[in-house]
Structure 1
Amino acid sequence: MGRLPGVVMKFVARLGHFVRSVQNGKQSPFRVRWARMALTAWFFVAVYSYLSLYHDESIKNYLSSVKETLRLHSTTQTSAIEPKKLYQKLRYDTKFEFLEPYTLEDDLLTVQTGPHRGQRLESVDELAFYDADPRLIWSVYTDHWMDGTQVDTTELTQFSWYDWADFHDWNKLASLSSTKISCDFLFEPFFNKEILDQIESEIGEELFRYGRGDYNSASFTHQKDQMVFENLEVYCKADGSNEGNTTSSNRKFSSGFQVMEMFEEVRPEVYQFLGRHFMLSTLRNPTSLTILNGRNAPIQVYVNQSSRANIAQSGLLNKFVGKHRKDDQTKMFNHTAYFKKFLASSFAQKNQVTINELSDEERNAYSKQIFHLQPSDFEFDAIAKIKELRARKDSLSFHETTYLESLEFSTSNHYAFDTKYFNEPSALKDFASLGAHHDHRFFNGAIVKDPYDSQLKLNALIRTFQKFLKSNGLISWLAHGTLYGYVYNGQTFPWDFDFDVQMPIRHLHILAQHFNQTLVVEDPSEGTGRYLIDIGSSITTRINGNGKNNIDARFVCVDTGLYIDITALSVSSAMISSKFSDVFENDKKTLGAEIVHRDPNLIANETDLSLQLLQVRIDNDPSYSNEDKKLVKTMVDRSNADYRKSTSPEKLYSAEQRYSFNYDLQIYNCRNNHFMKFDEISPLVLTEFHGVSAFVPNRYITILRREYRVPLKYGFIGYKGNVFMPEFRYWCVSSLLQTLANKKQEHIDWNIIDSSLNNLKLDDIRKMYENLAQSGDSKVLSTLYNSRKLSTYRLKEIDIQFGSNSTSEKLNLLTNLHNNLSSHIQPTFKDPYLYSTERRAWERLEKEESNLTSLAREIDREIAEKLQNWTESLHDKTLDFYRLASVDFNTECEPIYVAGESSRNAVFSQDPLLVE
């Protein structure tokens, strides 16, 4: 090197130091990109000029390696988007729009996690794991489905949960090349701290996000559950990719073992990895993929049940890359372009879902402000349906075949022997009862411990469900706590971790016939959601039965395990609540004691037996086990006790008489004994819930008041540490509000709120927003900002529904409101996958850039000012949002609530009168 000029020698030394710092992860990704542009461009031109003169091969080789290192690290760590733009997009822009294109070289073939992060692979054959970015998966699958060789629409598509669910954290285990892990690691109550530290040291980041700080506690000691470890081979085994306990750099798409059975007596983070392993190795595939297509009918593709190969293992990825390798890198994985072409293909058109059981009126239900149900929607004859399906057994679809089997099983099984269908991990350690809000198969960590993250995922869940219903013409309405949350601001309560919806029994059966065990995938131009429709095995039982199956179906997020509970209402023989005594007494004389209507789902002398008669029959029958006999006896004892305590007006009548009475009274129930009258439900009223079309019952205040203590007032309301702030139109944690009020002047540079929180003046609201921006709680600020249109929409909806206009005037105004303003409502939360990628990009920046906090606070203050202006415009009746319709809603209907003015309204004292 002595022949090089001194300035070049110094530059080489500094460059070598910089490269080593890049390799050690100590340099800002933005500085790395600068290095690529500045150092590579200027330095290599200069140095190679000297090399051409001095022919020093050692220097040339060294510089080549430096150049390669810079290339590898230049584009993979953080988005090139400017910090200000990234923060604005992360917090205050919920449009579905990716930061940057997904490319072959910089994304797929660059290792994204683990000890070899940043390393560039030569081909897809070298992939040992990958994050299933939706742009990658959609591009490969839609291109395959459009391929001329796939002309047979009955061909079963390849499937792996790895491609259709979140395995980001699991990939960290798959990336290990030196740390040894075994089955033991996943079946101890919490992770072995020593092994966990080794893993995180090797991968250079935390293995999991939620609850990681708990492992710093001295109380975490190594222990095993002996019951499990004595039978560990029942739960887990080596997968054959290595020699059992050791990892291997040659292993692909495996952490070295398979999980055959789940075990709950562990902490959430352990169960998270148990669940992901179980999904990959054991969980059955869905029957089909149901692909949403905007407002149009979805496309349904049946899945190969014996397949577990992901796109790399099946060869689909190699085929795609070979076909498109010469394409523009930024357009190669343009999944929306592929999807658009796919929708126009003959394959998509032949696989479009058609539901012949629905009327044209039902298919167009979501285009009307009110929708009239029929009493026949709450009846279903399963025996007749079985006969119909058997008659055309040779032409049944896969879904219809399994539906027939389910009906045959359900109708032939007495409700006393129904087993619990849905399972939740309610016994998780150090997780209170929060596990009950998750499906055990898809649990993916303690996400609900982060209120913002859980709301974000729940928002995507309900939005996709409602879009699924609308695209198929299926009818459902908000129920229970979900309906209660809607009343105030068009969203669920922030502390709720699931949703409740109800539907007529007829529509539940249509759902089962066409969609049970389908994986609903969101339109890729709208979001990245993947949700399993799972329907129970005893839906022909319409009474509480043995109490194990109150939920009929679930819409389950496969990335988190969070779900929507779906319950059907139908005629049944259940004893109506005493709250309906007046209705029963008024109509009893006209009903008579004669049995006019009978339950068509029961088989005589088999499933129609009362518990008492069933007990007599099985007591001397050796084909029933002692356990079955004990079960029935327990149920008989409980039934007798419940009967003695019952205050139902139908108490003295037989099950057959009750069914006939309830049929004529048009009183329907779910299996958890929630009763409603037909005219309380119908007609359904169209509204916006979480920014998508949804239905609520006609008399939703009456229904809610039967179940809850609903305050009469729209205003300041407290509930278990939460407060509904009408000025914000949102539920806030009360401790945060106390902090923002700054009454004790704990924050010198904050505003002091003099007035009471339950009666803020307009100027106080401005000060509260300013304090919120100063506080750094950008998640709350973003929620208020991103929900402002939805909550303001709901506020005007309340004004109209409960106002003094005639019913026809109300319906016209509501129709105008929905048709003109609903399309302008942005989602309250960002798509979960987009959020996770943007959050990780921002967190990487925060580690390197010192001025990001001040930049974020500056943007927060700008947002707070926009919220102030919104509040003032709403108060002054000059809000531009209300002017987007053909009428100016600023002046339509007297406002129920006005910010900054004392209000004593009793708006919820009765139902809104929308139909005569």
Structure 2
Amino acid sequence: MRYDSDIVLASVGDKLSKLRYQSTGIPDNDITKEFALENYFTTKLAYGYKVPHVFHEEKPMVYDYDPRLTNAVFLHQITKQFQRLGDVTQIELPFSWYDWSDLSVLNGYIELPPSDKPGCDYVCRRSLRKTDTAQLQKKIDKLHALQNGGSFSIEDDGVEDSEDAAEKESMPKISPRALSPRRARVRNSREAKNCAKYCKTDKSPNQPGFRIFRQLFKGKPNLKTVHGRSFLYSEAPSPNSIVLVTKKGNLQINVKSNDQLDNKQDHNMVNSGFVQELVRDRSADINILEIYHDLLETLPISKPNELNFKYKVDLTHDDFTFNAPEYLDTHTPNTRYEKAFQDSLHFSLQNRDEVLKKYLNEAMLARGTGVNGGHFDSRFFNDGKYSDEERQAVLTRLLRTWFALTSNAGLLSWVSHGALLAHEFNAVGFPWDDDLDIQMPFKHFARLAELYNSSIIVEDPEYGLGRFYLDTTNSITHRSKGNGLNRIDGRFIDTNTGFFIDVTALGVSPISLPTRYVEQYKTLPKKKDLEIENWDPNVILDDYYTWLTTEEELQLSKDDAVFAERMKKLKELRSAKPSGLTKANTLQERFDINTRLRVYNCRNEHSYVLEELSPLRLSYQDKVKVYLPNSAPTLLEREYKKQPKLTGDFRGYFFLPAIRNWVGFKTVLDSVDFSVFQDLNTAEEVDMVAMLDNDEVFNAYRRTYDASLLHEKESKIISDSAYSEEEKDRLLTELMMGRHFDPIFKDPFQSKLEALALEDTDVKPLIDTEKEKMKEQLKIEYAKTVDYTFGDSNMQLSHDFNKVSRTLKDDLYDYKFNGYQPDLDAKIVQLQKQIDSVSGKGDAMSKEDKEAVAKWQQEIMTLHQKKTKAEEEALAAEAAQNNEAEAKPDADSAGASPIEE
């Protein structure tokens, strides 16, 4: 067996040595240069794959992560077991996280002999120490050299061997002065004591030397990567099921529990014999798409729910209710995941939300690392340093698989918060966003948790190699903020990076009614006449600690710091005074009022009425079919500052409406001559076309021009007052339905393989040719001769959508020549809404209300004056331009002779 010392084990930062591990023969790349060149601008997958020879007979202890091999092995195994058993529900597969998440950062440690493996002292600190890592690397290199029959010599690697220097570099500074020997002993003793709370040393042959079983404190990315990967490798329970998302529906396969296994790797695909079976049954040269199609033709997979992906879908009050006690009384669990769901409901109903522990944990990173650990799941965190493109590639795959999974199951959800705001601009995620937000009705979320919680969700193999993990909290019946630790109900997590989608359920709760719903509140009977008709079926009637006397509580608080902190938080929350229209009502009365008014909230107390959400409307986000809430603009105005419809700037980016994309400040400044024009809205066609010479601008436009153009026309139809609501629905249904887009980004794993295949190839001529094509596309947009059937060769449209409503190019022209200023218009509309809302109180208006209305009216007058002045200046500039043009001699007659004239 040969070793490749060029493969990196640990991504341990710029200042630290890098530990390398053996490659077991999975090729770094079996994608050809020809394929990579031919598909340079596509997201097509390569399905051909050669199983490395090392797997044909042997069972290597460690091997490189390759999701193509995992897909091929398990697709083949599922088909084979179904042919033998004849029943999908009887299939139960062994599982190891080693096959479903890239844990190769541990391989070098595992390969070392027990006497050389690092123990908990190596990982019980804030960072992997440079000297320790360097010494481990020397041992690995020596092992590799000896196993290959060579000699080994230690060369000076420039690493300082001083333990004190390493401590100074990697440990947090406790004092500006050097620690005394006594204090050093105290600190070392404290670290050793804390270490036992989350790590145990295990130098058995199949372990890396340590087993992380909890995540406790903050650390640098290199350390937290090893912590998370160690937990998955040695301690993490197997998921409840593996769910394959296909066009025909979701295929759910049961997974064997690994709870009783000390060595979780007994269940990996090599030790289970599955890789060898694949080679024997088929061959070493395989086509993954063929294996996938064999499965689709063999297994009965339910068709997608026909109710989903209509243009509009109505929500009902029943969608936002879930009666957990009734569910428990009427359902008998038949599967591992159903039993887990019922266990979580029992837990949720028996515990007050004030005392719940945080369930979903982010990566806790030390300050100064340059990485925001709050946007990564702690278990799947992997270095955390990604480019905008790498991050967006993962997030869009998460989004695509999420909506495929839920629509196949007949479950409704919609994009919200930052993702909804991004859709408002160009239907493409913000380049700086680190996560996505999804909302669901409570009943649909409960069904999602029942079916798929703690499951691996496998991306459709035709489109990608992604695998994601769904994790919903064990307290879903709690619909209020509580202690604030569980504001998110669930996460859909990428298992290789830790990026996730935040999922929140909306339901009725006893929060105080927000003041914006005052008009609805007026329709209810007076408080003294209100009889409760709706009771919360999931309420906890008895206090969690009512059995404690004051003396017992004090004693427990002394003995248990966690208990003391919970009790303190509990009392603070109960003494806090609520705000809102129903702050004086009891909890039961508030729940009843919110039910009557159809007011729903998430656990972070974002509230909505049914009419703001329903009907959901189909659209596209990042070229993925998604649903949007009915009153998206209203919800965005409530949550965010009103954005201008044209050029915007945020977080180091400009939004360029002419190409409908966010572009970095520096890129714009380097590409645009601001001495010619100061406002990007006034840029001419030739200026915007020239900007496509910049690689960042070119790639942004190339990936998104079709979907963002569709969104532009969609938005203009919605806002066009010339159409009735019925006409808008008819036009939008035709425009949006029946479309299909390939993924917006390449699969992240294959993208790296293609980059390797082309690392010695000059691709500039290829890029330059494509840039010219994109320039022609942009010119077509300016000429308003766009083909709206892009990507759908068989699609036929009844309308010429070039002639339907305006375009952003029209807005740009008006902005330049007619003084059109959408930010002023939007502000006027917003102020008028505020006036109407307060004036609606009539005689009940207070002195403060009247003063506010007068102030807003004055602001509107000022804005109208600004708008008029801008329009006059634009007209004057246009007149001056016309006069200048008339004063110039005609180009054809300037040089004509008197005889010709």
Please classify the TM superposition score into its range, dividing by the shorter chain length: 0.7 to 0.9
Q: Which residue of 1 aligns with 2:516?
A: 579
Cα deviation for residue 754 of structure 1 reads: 5.0
The residue correspondences of 1:170-181 to structure 2 (distance < 5 A) are: 170-171=106-107, 173-174=109-110, 180-181=116-117
Alpha-carbon distance change, 263 to 75 in structure 1, aligned in 2, over 3 angstroms: closer
1:724·1:730 contact (CA, 8 Å) conserved in 2? Answer: yes
**Residue 728 in structure 1 maps to residue 659 in structure 2:** yes
Give the aligned residue type for 1:828: I
- Cα separation, 2, equivalents of 1:668 and 1:78: 51
One-letter amino acid of the counterpart of residue 878, structure 1 = T
Task: Please report how far the alpha carbon of residue 130 of structure 1 lies from its aligned counterpart in structure 2 after TM superposition.
Answer: 2.3
**Cα deviation, residue 74, structure 1:** 13
Rounded to whole Å, the distance in 1 between the matches of 2:136 and 2:569 is 51
Alignment of 1:613-632 (within 5 A): 619=550, 625-626=556-557, 628=563, 631-632=566-567
**Does residue 657 of the first structure (1) align with residue 589 of the second (2)?**
yes
Name whichever of 413-422 and 628-637 sits farther off: 628-637
Q: Return the match for 1:838 from 751, 754, 766.
A: 754
Q: Deviations over 1:611-650 (max 9, x none)?
A: xxx779764666993364663454434443443xx2x111
> 1:158 maps to which residue?
94
Shift of 1:291: 1.1
- Secondary structure of 1:738's counterpart equals helix
In 1, Cα distance between the equivalents of 2:507 and 2:55? 60
The answer to whether structure 1 residue 318 and structure 2 residue 276 are counterparts is yes
Q: Does 1:857 align with 2:764?
A: yes
Contact 1:295 1:470 in 2 (8 A): no
Tell me what 1:670 maps to.
Answer: 602
Q: Report what 2:214 is aligned to.
A: 261
Which amino acid is 2:612 matched to? E
| One-letter amino acid of the counterpart of residue 797, structure 1 | E
Residue by residue over 1:807-861, the C-alpha shift from the partner in whole angstroms, topping out at 9 and shown as x without a partner, is 12211221111224x31x332211112112223444xx3xxx4xx4xx3333332
CA contact (8 A) 2:480 2:511 kept: yes
1:673 aligns to what SS in structure 2? coil
After TM superposition, give the deviation of residue 432 of structure 1 in Å.
5.5
Partner of residue 760, structure 1: 683
The answer to whether 1:303 aligns with 2:256 is yes
2:742 matched to which residue of 1?
826
Distance change >3 Å, CA 569–CA 261, structure 1 → 2: closer
**Is there any run of 5+ residues in structure 2 with no aligned partner, and where?**
7-22, 142-158, 173-187, 831-901
Post-superposition offset of 1:573? 0.7
Give yes or no for contact 2:128–2:170 (8 Å, CA) kept in 1: no
Q: Partner residue of 1:103?
A: 50
Paired residues of 1:615 and 1:632 also in contact (CA < 8 A): no
SS of residue paired to 2:592? helix
Query: What per-residue deviation string (whole Å, max 9, x for no partner) do you get for residues 355-400 of structure 1?
Result: xxxxxxx9323331110011111122111111112xx35xx22222
Kindly indicate whether the alpha-carbon contact (under 8 Å) linking 2:31 and 2:46 is maintained by their aligned counterparts in 1: no
User: 2:469 is matched with which residue?
Assistant: 532
Residues 875 and 899, structure 1, Cα contact 8 Å, conserved in 2? no
Counterpart residue number, 1:421? 359
If the length of structure 1 is used for normalisation, what is the TM-score? 0.75
Judged with a 3 Å threshold, the aligned counterparts in structure 2 of structure 1 residues 493 and 504 are, in CA distance, closer, same or farther, namely same
Q: Is the 8 A contact 2:24 2:64 kept in 1?
A: no
Give, in whole Å, the separation in 1 of the partners of 2:431 and 2:574.
Answer: 37
Structure 1 residue 763, shift from structure 2 partner? 0.6
Alignment of 1:483 with 2:399, yes or no, is no
What is the distance in 2 between the residues matched to 1:898 and 1:203?
Answer: 65
Residue 834 of structure 2: aligned partner: none
Q: Distance in 1 between matches of 2:742 and 2:821?
A: 29
Q: Distance in 2 between matches of 1:379 and 1:228?
A: 48
TM-aligned CA distance change 1:548 to 1:353, over 3 Å: farther
Per the alignment, residue 738 of structure 1 pairs with 669
Q: Is residue 2:735 matched to residue 1:817? A: yes
Letter in 1 for 2:101: A
Deviation at 1:443, TM superposition (A): 0.7
Contact 1:264 1:425 in 2 (8 A): no
The answer on whether the counterparts of 1:551 and 1:567 sit within 8 Å (CA) in structure 2 is yes
Distance 1:496 1:558, change over 3 A: same
Q: State the distance in 2 between where 1:606 and 1:150 align.
A: 50
Higher mean alpha-carbon deviation, 257-266 vs 623-632, is at 623-632
Question: How far 1:411 sits from its partner (Å)?
Answer: 1.1
Give the drift of 1:262: 3.0
Answering whether residue 388 of structure 2 is matched by residue 465 of structure 1, we say: no
CA displacement at 1:717 relative to structure 2 = 0.6
The alignment-based identity, stated in percent, is 26
Assess, with a 3 A threshold, how the Cα gap between structure 1 residues 412 and 353 changes in structure 2: closer, same or farther.
Answer: farther
Please give the residue correspondences for 1:483-562 in structure 2 after superposition, counting only pairs within 5 Å: 483-562=420-499
Among 31, 43, 58, the alignment partner of 1:94 is: 43
Q: Relative to 1, partners in 2 of residues 1:834 and 1:433: Cα closer, same or farther, differing over 3 Å? A: closer
Q: Which amino acid aligns with 2:102?
A: D
**732-741 vs 150-159, which moves further:** 150-159
C-alpha deviation, 1:604, in angstroms: 3.6
Aligned 8 A contact 2:436 2:501 in 1 = yes
Whether contact under 8 Å (2:93, 2:253) holds in the other structure is: no
SS in 1 for 2:617: strand
CA distance in 1, matches of 2:542, 2:199: 45
Deviations 1:524-554 (A, max 9, x none): 1221111111111111111112222111111
**Match for 1:436 among 370, 374, 393?**
374
Q: Deviations over 1:279-314 (max 9, x none)?
A: 010011101111111242433333333463211112
Aligned to 2:700: 783
Q: Is the 8 A contact 2:355 2:570 kept in 1?
A: no
| Compared CA separation, residues 619 and 897, structure 1 to 2 (3 A) | farther
* 1:284 and 2:237 are equivalent in the alignment: yes
CA shift for structure 1 position 743? 5.2
Alignment partners' CA distance in 2, 1:179 and 1:766:
64
TM-score by length of 2: 0.77
Helix, strand or coil at the partner of 1:420: coil
Contact kept in structure 1, 2:110 and 2:117, CA below 8 Å: no
CA distance in 1, matches of 2:324, 2:4: 66
Which AA in structure 1 matches 2:723?
A: N
Please give the residue correspondences for 1:356-395 in structure 2 after superposition, counting only pairs within 5 Å: 363-389=305-331, 392=332
Shift of 1:179: 12
Please say if residues 363 and 377 of structure 2, whose CA atoms lie closer than 8 Å, have aligned partners that are also in contact: yes
Q: Secondary structure at the match of 2:692?
A: helix
Check whether the contact 1:615–1:629 (CA below 8 A) recurs between aligned residues.
no
Within-5 A mapping of 1:77-92: 81-82=32-33, 86=36, 89-90=39-40, 92=41
> Alpha-carbon deviations, 1:32-67, whole Å to 9, x = none?
xxxxxxxxxxxxxxxxxxxxxxxxxxxxxxxxxxxx
Alpha carbon RMSD of aligned pairs, Å? 3.5
Match of 1:330 among 285, 297, 302: 285
CA contact (8 A) 1:555 1:563 kept: yes
Q: Give the Cα separation in 2 of the matches to 1:591 and 1:795.
A: 52
Aligned residues of 2:237 and 2:257 also touching (Cα < 8 A): no
**2:130 pairs with 1:193:** yes
> Distance in 1 between the 2:248 and 2:805 partners?
32
SS of aligned partner of 1:298: strand
Cα distance in 2, alignment partners of residues 295 and 624 from structure 1: 60
Given that residues 93 and 786 in structure 1 are in contact (C-alpha distance below 8 angstroms), is that contact kept between their aligned partners in structure 2? no
Given residue 657 of structure 2, which amino acid in structure 1 is its aligned partner?
P
What is the one-letter code of the residue matched to 2:622? H
Native 8 Å contact 2:28 2:753 kept in 1: no
Aligned with 1:676: secondary structure? strand
- Distance of 2:622 and 2:108 partners within structure 1: 34
Question: CA contact under 8 A between 2:480 and 2:510: conserved in structure 1?
Answer: yes
2:9 equivalent in structure 1: none
| 1:402/1:123 CA distance change after superposition, 3 Å | closer
Task: Structure 1: give runs of 5+ residues left out of the alignment.
Answer: 1-21, 26-71, 110-120, 205-214, 243-252, 355-361, 608-613, 745-752, 912-916
Aligned to 1:228: 191
Q: Which letter maps to 1:387? A: D
Q: Distance in 1 between matches of 2:569 and 2:31?
A: 66
Over 3 Å counting, the alpha-carbon distance change for 1:896 and 1:876 in structure 2 is same
- CA distance in 2 between partners of 1:642 and 1:303 (Å): 49
